């Protein structure tokens, strides 16, 4: 019998406890698939007495995760504590520095210190596996790093945050306001008490930084990403999108352009018949456009104990099999620096919702300004007027929805600034980028 792979696991919360459970339940099958058993020998968490629904009596308890990372008995250190700082960072560093392989689900740690940790892993010939950090159970890291190694990838984009997709799906399907959907998501445990990291797009950005690195060989760097969240999206936008054949999704997009790699996170209109538009609720999805093959879309649970454990266990299994791949698919010294792409240069179609003042010449003024900036219209829809205003002498403005053909963001912003100066609209326009798919 081959000696078991000895694992030390730090963090026994939602994911950690599920990993212990899965390794126990699938023990025999994993031993067969990997050629050797996998055995958790020591664990670490904050509170020893907590009931976690798993039997920890046989497992050695090490109070300090950094001490566990350096423990001589273990070959693999599994970090499921979370957070970009210590103890997660110091524990992972300690493990790699002593040549131990590491498995982590910690997107924040990788987004902030991924290159430094990958360099350390390579120096000590250790694996640094992080399938669970993006897309939960979806094997997107392996797909990009290994499964598509022979392809030139032009674009990767996806729904990477279940909370945002849940809110947008509910708003669209049941015409419920953003605030109400958020409260519901919090009640159901899909959103944090402080949801800002999710709804303002930063969680998606951290995951996108990892995907972009794997796809384009760039240094993981969330500061190179343009980020816009979903808080400005209204049911009126979702209704209009629906009528025009679109859905609105918070997408993380990394795409090769003539100016370099563009990385952005923002609410996006996608055609209703596209694969990504079918993804509703907390589910995640990633689409990969590679040069010589039709697009690939992977869909699955992006979070939850067992979903995340599935990816963590697959990473541990790779180590048991002796598989070592450079963490970001190439030597970390060869990862290229990346800059934030200026959004003025972004090219694509746009959805614009304006509140047009009801007076003669308004439509002609708007059309002239758009034409001056060489913006062509795919469609123009006038929506129902809002409720009557307090002053009946001033009729309520009329919502007008414009869908443009491909243009630049610079042209759209300049045209809208000119329309504003013309005083034919009220309030701020809503602008949503359309992603070709």
Q: Which residues bind ligand NAP (CB under 6 A)?
A: 10-16, 44-47, 50, 65, 80-82, 87, 105-107, 132, 136, 303-304, 308
Q: Please, what is the minimum distance in Å from the beta carbon of residue 90 to ligand NAP?
A: 10
Closer of 49 and 387 to ligand NAP (Cβ): 49
Sign of the C-alpha dihedral computed for residues 215, 219, 220 and 221 taken in this order: negative
Residue nearest to ligand NAP (CB): 13
How do beta strands 38-44 and 5-10 pair? parallel
Which segments of 177-303 are extended strands (E)?
Answer: 226-227, 246-257, 260-271, 283-290, 296-301
Q: For residue 363, give both structure tokens.
A: 């439509």
Answer for the pair 75, 2: CB distance below 8 angstroms, yes or no. no
Closer of 138 and 230 to ligand NAP (Cβ): 138
Closer of 143 and 362 to ligand NAP (Cβ): 143
Q: Please, what is the minimum distance in Å from the beta carbon of residue 64 to ligand NAP?
A: 7
Closer of 195 and 399 to ligand NAP (Cβ): 195
Answer for the pair 256, 111: CB distance below 8 angstroms, yes or no. no
Closest CA to 230 of 262, 195, 263, 254: 195
Q: Look at the block and give the residue holding tokens 């519901």.
A: 184
Closer of 44 and 287 to ligand NAP (Cβ): 44
Answer for the pair 10, 17: CB distance below 8 angstroms, yes or no. no
Answer for the pair 208, 225: CB distance below 8 angstroms, yes or no. yes
Q: Please, what is the minimum distance in Å from the beta carbon of residue 69 to ligand NAP?
A: 11
Q: Please, what is the minimum distance in Å from the beta carbon of residue 197 to ligand NAP?
A: 11
Q: Please, what is the minimum distance in Å from the beta carbon of residue 123 to ligand NAP?
A: 24
Q: For residue 236, give both structure tokens.
A: 């009126």
Rounded to whole angstroms, the maximal C-alpha distance in the chain is 89
What distance in Å separates the CA atoms of residue 119 and residue 123, rounded to the nearest whole number?
6
Q: Please, what is the minimum distance in Å from the beta carbon of residue 279 to ligand NAP?
A: 17
Closer of 12 and 117 to ligand NAP (Cβ): 12
Q: Is 207 a catalytic residue?
A: yes
| Residue 219: exposure state from Cβ atoms within 10 A (0-12, 13-18, ≥19) | middle
* Residues forming beta bridges with residue 428, ordered by sequence position: none
Q: Please, what is the minimum distance in Å from the beta carbon of residue 237 to ligand NAP?
A: 29
What distance in Å separates the CA atoms of residue 263 and residue 144, rounded to the nearest whole number?
17
Q: Please, what is the minimum distance in Å from the beta carbon of residue 70 to ligand NAP?
A: 14
Sign of the C-alpha dihedral computed for residues 105, 106, 112 and 116 taken in this order: negative
Closest CA to 311 of 110, 96, 141, 74: 141
Catalytic residue among 107, 142, 207, 249: 207
Core vs surface per residue 286-296: b (16+ CB within 10 A) or e? bbbbbeeeeeb
Q: How many C-beta atoms surround the C-beta of residue 405 within 10 A?
A: 12
User: Phi-psi category of 296—alpha, beta or left, where left has phi over 0 and alpha has psi -120 to 50?
Assistant: beta
Closer of 10 and 251 to ligand NAP (Cβ): 10
Closer of 93 and 407 to ligand NAP (Cβ): 93
Show which residues are catalytic: 207
């Amino acid at each position: 019998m081959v000696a078991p792979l000895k694992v030390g696991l730090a963090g026994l919360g939602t994911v950690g406890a599920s990993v212990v459970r899965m390794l126990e339940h699938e023990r025999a099958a994993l031993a067969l698939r990997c050629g050797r058993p996998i055995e958790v020998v020591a664990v670490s968490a904050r509170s020893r007495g907590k009931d976690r629904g798993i039997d920890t009596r046989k497992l050695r308890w090490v109070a300090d995760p950094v001490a566990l990372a350096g423990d001589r008995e273990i070959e693999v250190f599994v970090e499921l504590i979370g957070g970009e700082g210590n103890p997660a960072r110091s524990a992972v560093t300690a493990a790699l520095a002593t040549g131990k392989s590491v498995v982590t689900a910690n997107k924040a740690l990788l987004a902030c210190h991924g290159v430094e940790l990958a360099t350390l892993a390579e120096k000590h010939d250790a694996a640094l596996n992080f399938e669970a950090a993006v897309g939960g159970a979806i094997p997107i890291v392996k797909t990009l790093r290994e499964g598509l190694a022979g392809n030139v990838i032009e674009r990767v984009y996806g729904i990477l945050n279940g909370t945002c997709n849940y809110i947008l799906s509910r708003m669209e399907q049941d015409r419920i306001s953003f605030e109400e959907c958020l409260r519901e998501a919090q009640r159901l445990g899909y959103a944090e008490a402080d949801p800002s990291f999710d709804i303002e797009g930063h969680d998606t950005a951290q995951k996108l930084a990892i995907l972009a690195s794997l796809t384009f060989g760039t240094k993981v760097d969330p500061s190179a990403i343009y980020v816009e969240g979903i808080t400005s999206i209204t049911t009126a936008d979702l209704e209009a999108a629906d009528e025009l054949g679109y859905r609105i999704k918070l997408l993380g997009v990394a795409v090769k352009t003539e100016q370099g790699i563009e990385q952005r996170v923002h609410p996006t209109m996608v055609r209703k018949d596209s694969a990504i538009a079918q993804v509703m609720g907390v589910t995640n999805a990633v689409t990969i456009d590679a040069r010589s093959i039709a697009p690939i879309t992977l869909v699955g649970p992006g979070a939850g104990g067992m979903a995340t454990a599935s990816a963590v266990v697959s990473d541990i299994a790779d180590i048991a099999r002796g598989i070592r791949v450079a963490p970001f698919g190439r030597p970390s010294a060869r990862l290229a620096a990346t800059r934030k792409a200026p959004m003025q240069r972004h090219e694509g179609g746009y959805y614009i919702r304006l509140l047009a003042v009801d007076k003669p010449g308004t439509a002609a003024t708007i059309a002239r300004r758009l034409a001056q900036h060489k913006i062509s219209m795919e469609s123009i829809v006038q929506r129902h007027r809002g409720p009557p205003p307090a002053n009946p002498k001033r009729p309520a403005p009329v919502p007008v929805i414009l869908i443009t053909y491909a243009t630049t963001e610079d042209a759209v912003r300049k045209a809208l600034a000119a329309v504003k100066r013309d005083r034919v609209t009220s309030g701020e326009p809503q602008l949503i980028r359309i992603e070709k798919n």
